[in-house]
Amino acid sequence: MNRKEFIQATSLGTAAFFFLGMGSFFGKSPNPLEEELRKPFEMIDKNVVIIGSGYGGSVAALRLCEKNIPVTLLEMGLDWEKSGQKFSSMINPGHSAAWLKTKTIAPFFNLFSLEKYTGALDRLDFEHIKIWLGRGVGGGSLVNGGMAVTPKKEYFKEVFPNLDAEKFYSKYFPLANKELKSNVASEEFLKDCSFYKFNRVGEEEAKKAGFKTVRVPNVYDFNYMEKEYKEEVPRSAFAGEVIYGNNHGKNSLDKTYLKKASATGKLEILELHQVNHITQNPDQSYSIDISVINTKGEEIQHKIINTKKLILSAGTMGSLELLLKSKAMKQLPMDDKIGKDWGNNGNFMTGRNWVKAFSGGTGFQQSTIPVGGIDHWEDKDRPFFVEIAPLPMGLNVATSLYLMVNKLKKYGEVNYDSVTQKLQLNWDQSHTAHMKDNAKYFLRTMNKANGGTRAHLLFHNGFGADVCYHPLGGIVLGKATDNYGRLNGHKNLYVIDGSLIPGTIGVNPFVTITAIAEYCMEEIIEKDFA
């Protein structure tokens, strides 16, 4: 297809030529369609394209490149390493703090104004839930807390009854943890480090309240952190860096999977390439409509990439949006299971005040990297897992923060509204009511044993039912796809990301997303790329 044919094939085509004709007839060019047509335009053919450079996309890229298969990876966010720019800390937010917003979008204390920029953290706001996401080469790994948790085997079996759990626990989980460089902090270090007082207090109080605590691995390099503590290297975890990116220490995907994939010479990463929609061609190839943007978010070029094989790894919300929008706009054939079985992984934020208020609280200086959890999963009536989360704002004396992960009792559903051209989420308080009950029970038990109150000033009177860091599901493995991520009804279209997990996995999800991506790609490469 050449450019003229492309324009004619689009819905704007006819109008564009009409207005262009009129423009030259009157000797001027007054309309936006003409401007659109004047933008630099490119149409390219590729063999394999991956959309999104988070966990799913990075695993797919490495495993294909290793087999000598050239891959083009499209990412709407910035390549931060290439840009030479620094990530900003939570107490001094700069360019990396938000995706094209003029105010910070942290879960609390959003008092800072920002210049509109293609930052690393984004937030999608729905009526009853706010969903935080990473943007940039490395996806969520740039902004997340690095907690690398392997789910409980029993729960994994419950969530994925069709998968070979033995193989996952002997092969894919160990592989994911190795490639992600997951490691564990030494107890010796945690015992004395002043930046981990919040965690020691969290664990002590949990034990006193009768809860079981667990040490949690992380992808932040704890050897680096120990040097950081001694001020032998630049500080990152101890300098308030995390949700706007870490400048040091964290093994985000750009330092692991993507680095290895790039070293093969087979990986082409195209940053600031925002995919608008996808069209299926008669020969079962795909055309990807892309806006190349600048760091203000303005389109500077329009591109079409035609590809024989397309892997969608735009994250749960990104892949859902691309599929549902492409169905609405471009009649992309779509299974009606897409959008179903969505969940927030049971995320529920809460906190306590007056924690050790008269003995230094939880500490002014806090590491941004969590290392502790509370495992209450075995309670049949109230199963939950809690991340003992830091509050690294340099102002906290007596607050404990917790991110709870609960089971789901009811799934949400994602749709696309063609009028507003936005995703719609069927999700309200009825989905989170039992999570709130669990939070009340948890806080009551902690306060009874240790003193303290609910943190009334945080979230909504201390309860953050609307805080979601772990959106999962909507394109579920074995339902909307086959058992390996091949999208139903398609031959050359795959989904490899968090959307394959049906709404819940019982712990922070990226190790599971990585392991599932490894498992799917092994089969797909063997059978479809031979």
- Which of 124, 143, 435, 458 binds ligand FAE (CB under 6 A)? It is 143
In the complex, least distance from residue 151 CB atom to ligand FAE, rounded to whole angstroms? 10
Q: Does 322 bind ligand FAE (CB under 6 A)?
A: yes
Cα separation of 497 and 480, whole Å? 13
Asked if 274 touches ligand FAE (CB under 6 A), the answer is: yes
Select 257 or 354, whichever has its Cβ closest to ligand FAE. Answer: 257
Instruction: Compute and round to an integer the Cα radius of gyration of the chain.
Output: 24
Q: Which stretch binds ligand FAE (CB under 6 A): 131-139, 207-215, 227-235, 486-494?
A: 131-139
Which position among 119, 139, 217, 502 is part of the footprint of ligand FAE (CB under 6 A)?
139
Nearest approach in angstroms of CB 290 to ligand FAE is 8
Paired tokens of 520: 């799917």
CB 368 within 8 A of CB 145: yes
- The residue among 217 and 452 lying less far from ligand FAE, judged by its C-beta, is 217
Handedness of CA 131, 137, 143, 146 (dihedral sign): positive
How far is Cα 104 from Cα 256, in angstroms, rounded to an integer?
29
Among 273, 387, 434, 490, the one annotated catalytic: 387
Q: If you search the block for the tokens 């160990």, which residue do you land on? A: 174
Burial of 324 (0-12, 13-18, 19+ CB in 10 A): buried
> Which of residues 274 and 279 has its CB atom nearest to ligand FAE in the complex?
274
134 binds ligand FAE (CB under 6 A): yes
CB of 530 to ligand FAE, least distance (A): 25
Smallest distance, ligand FAE to C-beta of residue 315, A:
3
CB nearer to ligand FAE: pick between 98 and 398: 98
**Quick one: which segment of 50-58, 264-272, 300-308, 347-355 binds ligand FAE (CB under 6 A)?**
50-58
55 near ligand FAE, rule: CB under 6 A: yes
* Size of the residue set binding ligand FAE (CB under 6 A): 38
Q: Does 199 bind ligand FAE (CB under 6 A)?
A: no
Question: Does 477 sit near ligand FAE (CB under 6 A)?
Answer: no
Length of the chain in terms of residues written: 530
Stretch that binds ligand FAE, among 29-37, 54-62, 158-166, 175-183 (CB under 6 A): 54-62
The token pair that represents 228 in the structure block: 């950081």
**In degrees, to the nearest 5, what angle opens at C-alpha 192 toward C-alphas 453 and 358?**
30
User: Is position 376 annotated as part of the catalytic site?
Assistant: no
Strand ranges in 129-266 using DSSP code E only, listed in sequence order: 130-134, 213-215
Shortest CB 358 distance to ligand FAE, Å: 31
- Closest CB 472 distance from ligand FAE, rounded Å: 7
Q: How does 134-148 read in b/e, with b if 16+ C-beta sit within 10 Å?
A: bbbbbbbbbbbbbbb
Q: How far is CA 90 from the centre of its chain?
A: 19
Which parts of 437-512 are beta strand (E)?
453-454, 463-464, 467-468, 472-474, 493-495
Give yes or no: 387 in active site.
Answer: yes
DSSP annotation string for 239-295:
GT-STT--SSSB--GGGTHHHHHHHTT-EEEETTEEEEEEEE-TTS-EEEEEEEE-T
Exactly one of 119, 146, 373, 464 binds ligand FAE (CB under 6 A); which one?
146
Binding site for ligand FAE (CB under 6 A): 51-56, 74-77, 132-135, 139-140, 143-147, 243, 274-275, 313-316, 318, 322, 469-470, 497-498, 508-510, 513
Catalytic residues: 387, 470
